[in-house]
Amino acid sequence: MSDRPPPFFVGDHPALDFLNTVATPRDVPVEWLRDGRDLIDWLERAKMIGAGVASRFRTARNHRALDSVAEKAREFREWLRDFVTRHKGKPVSSGAAKALGPLNELLAGDTSYPAVEAAEGDRALRLRRVRRWESPDELLHPIAEAAADLVCRADFRLIRACEGHVCTLLFLDQTKARGRRWCSMAVCGNRAKAAAHRARKSNR
Ligand SMILES: [Zn+2]
């Protein structure tokens, strides 16, 4: 990913960060999931896979299989973007379940299993989902899980697109005042402020 700026993690939800893996930070669209290698890098940065799993997949011989998983990830991303764009800004109704076929299809392939292990803190044991990481297709499962969490648990009224000119970044507004307008102040907020300042000056 060294030929691109670092990916954005401004969505305040992992599924929105995933949608933000294609964005237009400076007039030109940037794709952060070009191939399998990109997908592994992004999953590691998103903390959806650990460093050990990432390096195992990176050194695997079958690049073509990884690239095809990245292609599936991009397809799923655009399907999810369409769903989110259609439903954002209002509560999701149960009727939306009819449109969730591609998500349920991906979830159906999940091979993770629950395991009981020692915990820290006030509890001695805890239940955790474990993934096998045997096939590259499994890399799609943490993404599907994040998407499922988004559609079931997030308040869609609070999903917004950044108001920045040409910016396409999405986020879940978790601020107390529910008044978030920008992907980030550094990228779009300041740019809008400067533009407003210039407009005021030229009006004088
Ligand atoms: Zn923005």
User: Could you tell me the distance, in angstroms and rounded to a whole number, from the CA of residue 202 to the centre of ligand 1?
Assistant: 24
CA distance 139 to 58: 12
pTM beyond 0.85, yes or no: yes
User: Could you tell me the distance, in angstroms and rounded to a whole number, from the CA of residue 110 to the centre of ligand 1?
Assistant: 34
pLDDT tens-place string over residues 100-147: 999 999 999 999 999 999 998 899 999 999 999 999 999 999 999 999
**What does the pLDDT profile of the chain (204 residues) look like in tens digits?**
778 999 999 999 999 999 999 998 777 899 999 999 999 999 999 999 999 999 999 998 889 999 999 999 999 999 999 999 999 999 999 999 999 999 999 999 999 999 999 998 899 999 999 999 999 999 999 999 999 999 999 999 999 999 988 888 999 999 999 999 999 888 888 877 887 888 888 776
DSSP-H helix ranges across 88-189: 101-108, 141-153
Confidence (pLDDT) at 204: 65
User: Could you tell me the distance, in angstroms and rounded to a whole number, from the CA of residue 69 to the centre of ligand 1?
Assistant: 28
Beta bridge pairs of residue 118? 125
Q: Which of 66, 77, 68 lies closest to 15, judged by CA?
A: 77
Query: Total domain count for the chain?
Result: 1
Beta bridge pairs of residue 28? 26
User: Could you tell me the distance, in angstroms and rounded to a whole number, from the CA of residue 96 to the centre of ligand 1?
Assistant: 28
CB of 58 closer than 8 Å to CB of 120: no
**20 domain-assigned:** yes
User: Could you tell me the distance, in angstroms and rounded to a whole number, from the CA of residue 16 to the centre of ligand 1?
Assistant: 13
**132 domain-assigned:** yes
> Measured over all CA atoms, what is the biggest interatomic distance in the chain, rounded to whole angstroms?
68
**2 domain-assigned:** no
**1 domain-assigned:** no
What is the domain extent for residue 73? Answer: 14-203
**3 domain-assigned:** no
Provide the 3-class DSSP secondary structure of residue 118.
Answer: strand
Three-state secondary structure along 27-90?
Answer: CEEEECCCCHHHHHHHHHHCCCCCHHHHHHHHHCCCHHHHHHHHHHHHHHHHHHHHHHHHHCCC
Q: What is the CATH number of the domain that holds 110?
A: 1.10.3300.10
User: Could you tell me the distance, in angstroms and rounded to a whole number, from the CA of residue 106 to the centre of ligand 1?
Assistant: 30
**5 domain-assigned:** no
**4 domain-assigned:** no
For the chain, percent of residues with pLDDT exceeding 70? 99
User: Could you tell me the distance, in angstroms and rounded to a whole number, from the CA of residue 191 to the centre of ligand 1?
Assistant: 9
**108 domain-assigned:** yes
CA distance 122 to 106: 35
